[in-house]
Amino acid sequence: MKNQSKTSSISQNTNVLEALNDVLKLRRERFWTITLMLIVIFATTLYGTLRNPFINTFSKIGNYFGYRVLYIIWAITVSICIHISSILLFKLTDYSKKMGSLGLLFASFFLIVTAIIPSIKEQLPFWHILHKWTTFFYVMSMITALHPFFVWLGRKIPRLKVLLRNWQLFILIGSITSLLIQGQTGIFELWFFWGLGTLMIYLFWILFTEKIEEAEQHEHIAEKEKNRS
- Region 31-54: mean pLDDT is 96
Q: 4 and 214 in contact (C-beta within 8 Å)?
A: no
Q: 103 and 142 in contact (C-beta within 8 Å)?
A: yes
Q: 118 and 146 in contact (C-beta within 8 Å)?
A: no
Whether residue 2 is predicted with pLDDT greater than 50 in this model: the reply is: no
164-197 burial string, b = 16+ CB within 10 Å, else e?
A: beebbeebeebbeebeeeeeebbbbbbbbbbbbb
Domain ranges of the chain: 20-228
Q: pLDDT of 67-117, one tens digit each?
A: 999 999 999 999 999 999 999 999 999 998 889 999 999 999 999 999 999
Q: pLDDT of 165-213, one tens digit each?
A: 999 999 989 888 877 786 778 898 999 999 999 999 999 999 999 998 8
Crossing angle (nearest 10°) for helices 68-92 and 2-48: 150
- Residue 162, number of CB atoms within 10 A of its CB: 10
pLDDT at 224: 63
Q: pLDDT of 118-134, one tens digit each?
A: 888 778 889 889 988 99
